[in-house]
A and B are shown apart, each in its own frame.
Chain A
Amino acid sequence: MLPAASTVAGAMLHEAVAGPLLANLGITLARVVAAFTVAMVFGTALGIAMGVWRRLDLALDSWVTVLLNLPALVVIVLMYVWFGLNEWAAIAAVALNKLPSTAVTLREGARALDRGLEEMAESFRMGRWARLRHVVLPQLAPYLFAAARSGLAIIWKIVLVVELLGRSNGVGFQIESYFQLFDVTGILAYTLAFILVVQAIEWVLLQPLERRANRWRR
């Protein structure tokens, strides 16, 4: 039922050297990056806009809630039905699953923006870009990191489902192949490889960025 850890690690190394693991990992990672970028950029913009403009918030709030609660599977199937089994539909399906939670997180951030600092920036006639960069974004940093962390965790899981349902490559596709063969070792080898990649992103990218953003806190 459950192969030894050494067996899984061995299978992973073998797949990496002699099999298609690295290629599949690369393809899946590219989809994760694309969907993550789309979801973060649009979710952040939408969230800030909703946090700042009450009217927009009222108009879109129910839609965000609907999207937030729509099962990932439904979004994926609908995107494939409407736009075909292609890369765009796959990435859009993943991004749409993450976008509303990013928007909700960033909306809270935008609501908590410091009015006093905003007024200071206005009083000193800081430009729009300078305000965004030096006044607004640093305040939103904790919310951005929270959204990025949970986003990464959710997105790579959904990318696997998207691949399983409608793509002919990637980690999700491989896992499905192993599923047909009931090859638990193969399934775990791919899972382990991807967990290592996500962990590496956390260590190499997110944590150093967060330390940099937080260095002013004593």
Chain B
Amino acid sequence: MSAPAILEVDITRKSFAGRDGAAQLVLEDLRFRLAPREIVAVVGPSGCGKTTLLRLIDGLDHDFTGRIVWHATDRPRIGTVFQEPRLLPWRTVRQNLTLVAAGRDALADELLHALGLWPFRDAYPPQISLGMARRAAIARAFAIDPDLVLLDEPFVSLDPTMTERGRDVLLDAWRRRPTAALIVTHDMDDAAALADRVLLLSANPARIVADVAIPPDQRRAGPEAAHVLAQSLRQARAAETRPGGAISGSSGRR
């Protein structure tokens, strides 16, 4: 990577206390940099510690060995898209955006228009569909004019058509407000459809087994191209893990 990094992640160790009291190592030697406007996908099997990685970067958990260094900003604005939409059910869709947008109401409205949420701006989250709520959660993350967007399995439990629409919505928002983004997913197609670069993780503890840059002409080139790309990424992962069998569990899709 030649572009200056906006974020450097260097996590030596992150462990949790197991049931028997012994420390259980979850993340080990995770090192990567994120350039401005770069979308990086972190792909690993379910339960390998991907959400923990996002919590560390988000500052929700400080208990780890290593460092996370921000460049060019001391107080980064981080927009997070959680696995569940986590909208405030008692506030309207628009209020959910403006509440965190800190005065950027025009940006919030622009995103509501762009992501097709404008007609539903005054609806309460329990009155809209899950797909719509996820869209609103994506809009909320971009409404703070973020330095970094974190996405935690943003399309999990959506059917294939909705997943594809979700990816389009995310890319719409990103093209409107290009920002660094880190997507953790178990779905190789998500990674292939969205990312500039893919980090493949092993399980227990999670380590980076491959750091694959997607060739510029294949980036975000539509669903068919993404599907082909996902196949070659799966092969890359298989090749990386064959000798030691570092990756366990299945991350194949559907």
Contact = CB atoms under 8 A, between A and B. Distances in A.
Q: Considering residues A124, A138, A218, which has the most beta carbons from chain B within 10 angstroms of its beta carbon?
A: A124
B127 A218 contact: yes
Contact of B80 (A117, A120, A130, A215): A120
B105 interface: no
Interface in A184-218: 213, 215-218
A125 B90 CA distance: 19
Interface string B86-115: 101111000000011000000000000000
Given A123-B58, A124-B100, A116 B84 contact: yes
B80 A216 contact: no
A122 B126 contact: no
Interface size band for A: 10 to 19
A124 B144 contact: yes
B122 to A, nearest CB: 11
Contacts of B80: 120, 123-124
Contacts of B126: 216-218
B107 to A, nearest CB: 14
A125 to B, nearest CB: 8
Interface in A36-59: none
A33 to B, nearest CB: 27
Interface residues of B, number: 21
B22 interface: no
Interface string B62-102: 00000000000000011110101010111100000001100
B17 interface: no
B67 to A, nearest CB: 20
B60 A123 contact: yes
B86 A134 contact: no
A70 interface: no
Task: With a 10 A CB-CB cut-off, give which of B82, B100, B127 has the most chain A CB atoms.
Answer: B100
B32 interface: no
Given A216-B124, A217-B126, A123 B78 contact: yes
Contacts of A125: 77
Contacts of A218: 124, 126-127
A29 interface: no
Contacts of A126: 99-100
A122 B60 contact: yes
Contact of A134 (B58, B79, B99): B99
A64 interface: no
A75 interface: no
A135 interface: yes
Nearest to B92: A216
B229 to A, nearest CB: 31
A93 to B, nearest CB: 36
B60 A119 contact: yes
Interface in A100-143: 116-117, 119-120, 122-126, 130, 134-135, 138
B88 A138 contact: yes
Nearest to A215: B124
Given A119-B86, A216-B89, 5 more contacts: A138-B88, A138-B90, A216-B91, A216-B125, A217-B126
Interface of B: 58, 60, 77-80, 82, 84, 86, 88-91, 99-100, 124-127, 140, 144
Closest 10 pairs between A and B when the two form their complex, measured CB to CB:
A216-B124, A124-B100, A138-B90, A120-B86, A216-B90, A123-B80, A218-B126, A218-B127, A116-B86, A123-B58
